[in-house]
Amino acid sequence: KLAAEIKDYDGAKAGIEASLETLGLDYIDLMIIHSPQPWADWAGEDRFFEGNLAAWKALEEAVEAGKIRAIGVSNFQKQDLDNLLQNATTKPMINQVLAHVGNTPFELIDYAKSNGMLVEAYSPIAHGKILDNEEVGAIAAKYGVSIPQLCIRYVLQLDLLALPKTANPDHMKTNADVDFEISDE
């Protein structure tokens, strides 16, 4: 990811090169702008349109140079996406959004999809907070699965790419075992 604080062309170019060097790779499969706003300005009035366009230009050039294969964004809202769609050469290929049971931004998801973007749901297990939800636990029990499995299946059934986070190999394995369907009910 390009750090949320990088809102200029030179900074983005340096961030791309630093990532390649740190990873020891000739190219990166996917690089995204982490946020439309620096974290210190999160939810402020300034959407950093010009800075995001400058960073995006560096990403586009890295794609042309074969250093990156795909580019996208994270935490971008409709107006942030519109800025790129209307002013950039390459549209974002992916928008990562916070999406889980209890927080599903359907309008944003539909908008991104309608513009040909893959939508990736990060934190589909609600940063672990959903593990204590009795109602969700009861639904998981009905299907004979864990709460994380139910939550991952939920975003998959919305045709989103699930991005659960765990360092536990056992959790990684069970998180991938989601071969069941949640009923419309």
Q: Tens digits of per-residue pLDDT, 8-52?
A: 999 999 999 999 999 999 999 999 999 999 999 988 899 999 999
Residue 118 phi/psi, 5° resolution? -75, 135
pTM to 2 decimals?
0.93
CA dihedral 32, 37, 40, 43 (to 10 degrees): -130
CA 71 – CA 62 distance, rounded (Å): 9
If phi > 0 it is left, if psi is from -120 to 50 it is alpha, else beta; for residue 13 that is alpha
